[in-house]
Chains A and B, each alone.
Chain A
Amino acid sequence: MYVFSIIVLIGLLLSAGFFLYTIYRLLWNAVKIPEKKPGLKLQLGRRIYLVIRNVFLQAKLFKDLGGGIMHALMFWAFIAFASYSSDFFVSAIFPGTNLLSGTFEQVAFFTVDIFAIIALLDVVYAFIRRWGIKIKRYQGYNGFEAWFILSLVGILMATYYVLSVLRLDGVSANIPGSIGENLAAANTPVSYALASVLPKVSATTGYYIYWTAFTIHAADFIIFLAYIPTSKHLHLFAAPFNVLFAKEDQAILKPIDFEKETRFGATDIRDFDWKDYFDFYACTECGRCTANCPANLTGKTLSPRDIIWDIREVVVAQGTEYRTRGGDRDQVFKTVIGEPILEKDLWSCTTCMACVEQCPVMIDHVSKIVDMRRSLVLNQGKAPREVIDLTRNIEQYGSPYTIDPSTRADWAAGLDVVDLSKTPDAQYDVLYWVGCVASFDKRNQEIAKSVTKILKKAGVNFAILGSQEKCTGDPARRTGNEYLADMMIKGNVETLKANRVQKVITSCAHCFNSLKNEYKDFGIELEVHHHTEFINRLISDKKLSVKSLDSDTLEKYTYHDPCYVGRYNKLYEEPRDVVKSFAANYEEMEMNKSKSLCCGAGGGRLWMEEKEGTLISHKRIEQADKVNATTVVTACPYCMTMLDDARKTTGREDKMKIQDVSELIAGRID
C-alpha cells in the first residue's frame, strides 16, 4: 500500500466514525428523550410519492425559483457525486481497483462531469445571493458555516476537474498509487473541454499537481463528511427521512387525552416526539419560512426558522448533557419557553401555515408553536389578557363575545330559515354552520344573510342549528386552551349527532377547517364544504345564474385567500372561479394562493391587539392597493373584519370595498 492510501484510509475511517457517532448521538436523543409519540400511519404509497416529489424532484423548493433551481441542481450534483466519490475512494485506497466499470462507469462519469461545473456555478451564484445581492432571508445566517460549506463544495468540484484533466491527459495513469486510468473524452465532455484549453504539463509537474489536488480533494471530502452532521448540512441526511416520515395533516392539531396524559403541550424537549426531532435535524436554516411569515414581515421578532433552530440547539445541548451525565430528567430538561423561545413570539403567530407551506423539508412549525402555547395555558394559565377574556367568553357564552347565546340566530329573523333549535324535527339536506362571527358581528351577518339567500335561490333544503350552535372551539384551540376546546368540540359533536347532521356547509374558514379536519378525532365524520366550494358547484350545475352588473366594468377585483381555506384546505381555484364567473376585471395580488399573506386574524389573533411592528392587515391592504383593486373579495368573516378595519384605518375607505364571495353572488342572482 502507498502512504497516501493509508492516510486516506485513516482519514476516511476517522471521519466516517465521527459521522456515524454524531448521527448516533442525534438518533439517541430522538429515541431516549421524547415522552410523546407521533402516531404515524404507514401510508406507504403517499410516503414514496412524497420522497420522489419533495426529495428527488425537489418540488417544494421551486416556490423560490432562483434558490430552488440552484438547490435542485446542487442536490442532483451531490447524488451524481455519491457514485463518483465511492469510486474515487476505492481507487485511492486500493490503487488499481475500480468500483465502477462499463456502462455504469460511463454514465456516472458523464453525469458527474456535467454536474460538477453546474455545482461550481451554483457555488458562485450562492456566494452572490448571500454576499452580493444580500437576499434578505439569509441575513444573520451568513456566518462561518455558510461560506465554509460553500468553499468545501467549490473546492471539491474544482479539484475534481484538476484530477479529471490529468486523467484525460494521461498524466495520472503513470503516477504510481494514483486513482487511475485514462478517461474517455466522450464520457467527460467538460473535462475534455478544459483539457483542450489548458496547457499540457510535464510528468513531474503533473505529479505534484496530481498529489496536491488529490490531497485537497480527499481531505475536502473527509472534512465535509465529518462536518455535515454537526451543521445545517445535516439536512442532507435528515431531510429525506423527514419527508419520508412527514405527517399527512401538517398544522392540524391533535387532541390531548386529559384522562391519561400528564404533560400538556410542549414545555421542554421531552414534549416533542421523535418526528419533531427529525424536524429539528432537517432544518436547513434556509429561512424560507421566516421570509413568508406575516408576523416577521411586519416587524415582529417571531421567526419560525429560529423557533426550529433554537429548539434544535437545546436538543443538542441538553441531549448531550443527559447522555453523558444522566441524572434527573426534570433537572436536565429545562423549559424552552422564555429562553430561547420568547413567549411574545409564540403569541404573535397567526397559525397561517405559510411557514409549513414553504418549508422544503416539510417541517411543521405550527403544531409546535401551538404546543408551546398549550404548555403556557394549560400548565400555568398564562396567556395575554385578551386571550383570557376570549376563553372566559367561550366558556360562559359559547362564543368569543359577551353576548347572550340565545340571540345567536337573531340575524335570521324574518328570513324564513329552518332553525333546528325551534323545529328539531325538520327535514333538511344540508346544515349551514354559521359560526360565531357571522352570527353576532353586524358586518359579518351580511355573509350569513347572503349565504341564506343563495341557498334559497338555488333551492337547497338547509337548516341552521340556531342557539344550539356553539363556538367550534377553534379560537380556544389555537390559543392553546385545548381543555376548553375539547369541551366545546365534544359538546358540538353531541349536538351534531343529535340533529343527525351529515352534510355541512360553512362560510367561516376556521369552522370549516375544524369541522372538516379536526372533528374526526372526536368521533364524527362529516361531509364539510366551504361556501365558496358549494356556491361554485351551484353555479357550474346551473342552479344559479350569476349576472354581471353594469357597475362591474368600473370595479377591479382581487381575491384574498383565507389561510384556512387556501393553505389548510387547498381551495385556491373554487373561490376564484366564482369571482371570475362575473368579474371582468380581475388581478392577483403579489402574494397569492399558497403564498398568500395572512390577514392577521388566525390563531386567536382576531381578538388580540397587534402591538409589535406594523399591522399585518395593513400590509395586505397595501398589496391589494398595488393592483388597484376596488373590491377585495374574501371568504371568511375573520378576513372580512381585519381587512375592513385596515381599509378604514389606512384611509382607503372611499376607494376600496371588502366583500365576501357570497355577498357578491347574492347581489347578482335576482
Chain B
Amino acid sequence: MVDIIVLIKQMPDLEQVKPDPTTGEPQLKNVPLKLENLSENSVEEAVRLKEKYGGKVTAIIFGNEQSSAILKKAYAMGADEGHIITGFKGNNPSLTAKVLGEKIRALKHDIVILGNQSADSISGLLAGKIANHLGIPLLGNANSIEVSGSTVKVKRALEENNQIIQADFPVVISVTQEINEPRLPPVMQIMQAGRKPINTEAATLTGREVKVLSNKAPKSERKKMVFEDVDKGIAEIVKVIREESR
C-alpha cells in the first residue's frame, strides 16, 4: 500500500492563446484551461502505481475556482481524493512550493509525483523546491518507477546517460513525458468523477513580488516571407538559422 500524492496544474490551451492586436500581450481571457501535459502523465503514473502496488492517489492543485474541472479529469483518470487550494495568481514557484509543501505535510505521503517541467511556465523548479521544503529526497526526471517495500527505484534520464537511483519513502519523484501514455478515462469513471467530493480551501500564504515589465508575444503567426529570389532568400535565412541553431 502506497500513499501517493500527485501535484497537478492547470494551464491555458496554448494553441488558443493569441496576442492582443494592440498591446501584443497574450490574451488569456476565454482561453479554455486544460490539465497541463505533464500533470496528466503524473496522474497516469500515480494511478498505475496504485494499480500495481495498491494504495491511494490524492491529487492536489494550486489553482482557482475554475480548477474543479481539472481535478475531475484527475478523478476520471483514477485519483481517489482531491484538494483544490485557491489563490493561484500567476507563476511564482516559491509560493507554489510553500503552499503545496504545507498541504503535503498535512497528508499521508509515501510518494509525491509531479511533472519535471510544465508545458506553460517551463520552469522545472518545483520538484527541487518541494523536496527541499519537505526535506526528503528527490528522484528526478524519472522514466520509470519501481517500488519494493519502502524503497523506490527510478530510471533517471539525464542528458548524457541514464541513472538508476533509489531512496526510501517518503520521496518526491518528477516524471518525464516518456514515462507513460496517459489513458483515455473510461466513461463510468468520468461520470463517477462528477459526483466525487472536492475539497477546497484558500491559500493563506502570499509570495514575494515580481514586477512584470512587459509580456509580449515574440511572434504571432508565421511570418510567411517567401523569397523567389534564391540569393536574397539565402541571405535572410542564414541569419535566422544562425540565430536559432545555436
Residues of A within 8 A of B (CB): 258, 262, 264, 377-383, 385, 388, 391, 396-397, 402-406, 481, 483
Contacts and interface: CB of A to CB of B under 8 A. Distances in A.
A330 to B, nearest CB: 15
Contacts of A385: 181
A626 to B, nearest CB: 40
B188 A379 contact: yes
Interface stretch (B10-18, B90-98, B126-134): B10-18
Given A404-B16, A404-B18, A406-B16, A388 B34 contact: no
A258 B187 CA distance: 9
Contact of A402 (B15, B32, B185, B186): B15
B187 A396 contact: no
Contact of B184 (A391, A403, A404, A406): A391
Contacts of A397: 15-16
25 contacts: A258-B191, A262-B188, A264-B187, A264-B188, A378-B186, A378-B187, A379-B186, A379-B188, A380-B186, A381-B183, A381-B184, A381-B185, A381-B186, A382-B184, A383-B184, A388-B181, A396-B13, A396-B32, A397-B16, A402-B15, A403-B15, A404-B15, A406-B16, A483-B187, A483-B190
Contacts of B32: 396
Contacts of B185: 381
A264 B185 CA distance: 14
A254 to B, nearest CB: 16
Nearest to B31: A404
A382 B18 CA distance: 34
Nearest to A263: B188
Please name the 3 residue pairs, one residue from A and one from B, whose CB atoms are nearest each other, closest first.
A381-B184, A378-B187, A381-B183
B187 A379 contact: yes
Nearest to B221: A407
- Between B34, B184, B191, the greatest number of chain A beta carbons within 10 A of the residue's beta carbon is seen for B184
Nearest to B16: A404
Interface in B10-36: 13, 15-16, 18, 32, 34
Interface centre among A262, A381, A382, A406 (most CB of B within 10 A): A381
Contacts of A481: 184
A388 B18 CA distance: 26
Contacts, number: 38
Interface in B148-191: 181, 183-188, 190-191
Among A262, A377, A378, A481, max chain B CB count under 10 A is at: A378
Main secondary structure of the interface of A (DSSP, over half): helix
Nearest to A380: B186
Contacts of B181: 385, 388
Nearest to A388: B184
Interface string B178-214: 0001011111101100000000000000000000000
Contacts of B15: 397, 402-404
A264 to B, nearest CB: 6
A381 B187 CA distance: 8
Given A388-B184, A406-B18, 5 more contacts: A385-B181, A391-B184, A396-B32, A404-B15, A404-B16
B70 to A, nearest CB: 13
B184 A377 contact: yes
A383 B32 CA distance: 25
Contacts of B188: 262, 264, 379
A264 B186 CA distance: 10
A382 B190 CA distance: 15
B184 A396 contact: no
Contacts of A405: 16
Contacts of A391: 184
B244 to A, nearest CB: 22
A397 B34 CA distance: 12
B186 to A, nearest CB: 5
A395 to B, nearest CB: 9
B114 to A, nearest CB: 21
Nearest to A379: B186
Contacts of A381: 183-186
A386 to B, nearest CB: 12
A396 B15 CA distance: 10
Contacts of A403: 15
A151 B183 CA distance: 55
